[in-house]
Amino acid sequence: MSLPFKPASTAWLLAHELRLNWRGFKAGRKASGPGAFIAFVVLGCIILIGGIFLGLAVRGHEVPIIPLSSIIADLILAVILTLMLSTTLAASADALYERNDLDLLFSSPLAPRKVLFVRALGLAVNAGLWFLVPAALLLTPSIVLGHWAWASVFVVLSAAALGASGVGLLLAMALFALIGPRRTRTVAQVMAALIGAAFFLASQYRNLMGERASESLFARIALDVRDGKIVLPPFADWPLRAAIGQPVPLLVIVLIGAGIFLFAARVLGRRFADAAAATQGAETRKAAKGPTRAFAAGAFRATVRKELRLVSRDAALLSQVLLRVLYMVPLAFAMSRSAAHLPVWALAGPAAAVTFLAGQVAGSLIWITVSAEDTPDLLAISPTPMKVLRRAKLTAALIPVAVLLAIPIAILAWFAPLAALWTAIGAALTAWSSGLIGIWHQKPGKRADFRRRRTGSFLSALAELLIAFLFGGATALAVAGWYVWALLPLIVAGAVMMALRRTDEQIGAALRTAAT
């Protein structure tokens, strides 16, 4: 489909950029086609209905500009900005590494500044749309019902997207300068994951701080605000004023967002281009020093060692696993607190969650080791039986899971050894089962496609989830001491695994079918 703009114009280039972004987004979805469309429409309708109720509720009321409302508006904007930053930071690195079209664009008669400006603008539009679309559905009824000035929220969001993109680009540039182009991608992905996880951890403050401490802190803040003890710094209420349409704060916020963006996209544009060129083959990684290790003996050990090396050097995978490890932190806190003060059945939920997460991490790792094998032909021409190689890959996938689980289970074992034992058994069974499903229902993919791996095999993704839930349930029941009831999900899980099982011949036949 041709783009409805004059070729080589900024609008044409931006439309091209957005088309690629949209196709990348669609390719990364679990489902596509009418089902996904209906799901989006339903979700949109729910938000719109919420918006209508909101519009009716606030009709005739103005937002009071008081410390509490200002703090809430500041917090919302901070959350949105940070989430946008996590998107744009990773996207800035991806724009250099995963989209290999910069050489094509720079070799064309288009001005490099225009190319970079549009690419940066594409990042901003991408980040902004995630918030603008739901905001439009939520706020349009209120705007139509009389709060015309609230349309300024869209302007604030656009300015935030521009500002976040600018900061993302500047951070990427700083990383380039500090650690070199290749490591930037890794660090950017890890930082993006950490920013995302920070919100999860913040939402888990009750688990981290304990119910009493968190409640008293929250009550204290509310009281201080009511009594006027919290004095807001100057201009702290400007985000709220801008959102409700006051012209000066709105103009200032737009100027700040656009200014950061223009500074990043245009002033640093040339350096961005140089950094991009530096990633196209320049080698910055130094050779390892010190004595070389002895070679591993035999195919099994060599394969385990090779897989562990590849896993430890995979930036996307590390950031995903890191995220899941961070998810375990509040669980570990909750488990230790419950184990210390509550009866043992209170540990059932956290134990189930640890078991579930073990399956998820194992599922990711087995996808990397089995389905994302870089050189399947090399393995196929070797005389080593495929059975040995698969066993080695499963082992390599389970070793990091065991290392990750060691911490929460060790904490649990300190307080409640029996609960720790059941959790360890449940987590091991879930991880092992996820690994087997990954082997039985492997579907070759590229390592770079890790984030969209679930699209590879819907059945195996669903099966992994089901098995993780079943083993999680069995673990919870065992931890609570209801051993007989724990057998029930175990039996169902066993039956599901039997139904999913494939022989080597069946796996080979499925792979051949997929290849043709």
- Report if residue 302 touches another protein, rule: CB under 8 A: yes
Q: 16 or 305: whose CB is closer to another protein?
A: 305
Q: Are 436 and 5 in contact (CB under 8 A)?
A: no
Smallest gap from residue 434 Cβ to another protein (A): 23
Alpha-carbon separation of residue 198 from 274, 335, 425, 488 (angstroms):
32, 20, 30, 37
Q: Check residue 39 for interaction with another protein (CB under 8 A).
A: no
Q: Give the side-chain half-sphere CA count within 13 A for 278.
A: 18
Q: Does residue 301 touch another protein according to CB under 8 A? A: yes
Of 258 and 302, the one with the shorter C-beta distance to another protein is 302
Binding part of the chain for another protein, among 33-41, 154-162, 287-295, 322-330 by CB under 8 A, reads 287-295
**Minimum distance from residue 298 beta carbon to another protein (Å):** 6
Q: Which stretch binds another protein (CB under 8 A): 9-17, 235-243, 285-293, 476-484?
A: 285-293
Q: Which of 60, 377, 387, 484 binds another protein (CB under 8 A)?
A: 377
Which one of 17, 237, 314, 464 is in contact with another protein (CB under 8 A)? 314
Question: Which one of 96-104, 140-148, 283-291, 434-442 is the stretch in contact with another protein (CB under 8 A)?
Answer: 283-291
Among 1, 104, 231, 288, binds another protein (CB under 8 A): 288
Main-chain dihedrals φ then ψ at residue 501, nearest 5 degrees:
-60, 140
Which positions ≥6 away from 33 have C-beta within 8 Å? none
The answer to whether residue 444 forms part of the interface with another protein (CB under 8 A) is no
Exposed/middle/buried for 313, CB within 10 Å: 0-12, 13-18, 19+? exposed
What distance lies between CA 401 and its chain's CA centroid?
Answer: 19
292: contact with another protein by CB under 8 A: yes
Contact between 309 and another protein by CB under 8 A: the answer reads yes
Q: Is 516 in the site for another protein (CB under 8 A)?
A: yes
Site for another protein in 381-400 (CB under 8 A): 381-385
| Residues touching another protein, count (CB under 8 A) | 40
Residue closer to another protein by CB (options 61, 512) is: 512
Dist. CA 428–CA 486, nearest whole Å: 16
Contact (Cβ atoms closer than 8 angstroms) between residue 460 and residue 451: no
Quote the tokens at residue 89.
Answer: 């930071």
Does 177 sit near another protein (CB under 8 A)?
Answer: no
Decide if residue 280 touches another protein (CB under 8 A): no
Asked whether position 3 contacts another protein by CB under 8 A, the answer is no
DSSP letter for 146, please.
T
| Residue 506 binds another protein (CB under 8 A) | no
Cα–Cα distance, 441 to 443 (Å, whole number): 6
Among 313, 341, 446, 501, the residue binding another protein under the rule CB under 8 A is 313
Residue choice 380, 410, 491, 514 for contact with another protein (CB under 8 A): 380
- In whole angstroms, give the CA distance from residue 213 to residue 191: 29
Determine, following the binding rule CB under 8 A, whether residue 378 of this chain makes contact with another protein. yes
Cβ-defined contacts of 407-412 (< 8 Å, 24+): 407/328, 407/332, 408/328, 408/331, 408/332, 408/335, 408/354, 409/354, 411/332, 411/335, 411/336, 412/335, 412/336, 412/339, 412/347, 412/351
Assess contact for 173 and 275: CB atoms under 8 A: yes
3-state secondary structure of 239: helix
Q: How open is the CA angle 355-411-465, to the nearest 5 degrees?
A: 10
310 near another protein (CB under 8 A): yes
Residue 505 interacts with another protein (CB under 8 A): yes or no: no
The CB-of-54 to another protein minimum distance in angstroms stands at 50
Told to check if 511 binds another protein by CB under 8 A, we report: no
User: Could you give the CA distance from residue 295 to residue 302 in angstroms, rounded to a whole number?
Assistant: 8
DSSP-derived letter for residue 371 is I
CB nearer to another protein: pick between 216 and 284? 284
Q: Which stretch binds another protein (CB under 8 A): 56-64, 128-136, 258-266, 304-312?
A: 304-312
Which single residue is written with the structure tokens 């931006």?
14
The only residue of 48, 63, 155, 299 in contact with another protein, by rule CB under 8 A: 299
Stretch that binds another protein, among 70-78, 150-158, 209-217, 295-303 (CB under 8 A): 295-303
Which chain residues interact with another protein by CB under 8 A? 182, 281-289, 292, 294-303, 305-306, 309-310, 313-314, 374-375, 377-385, 512, 516
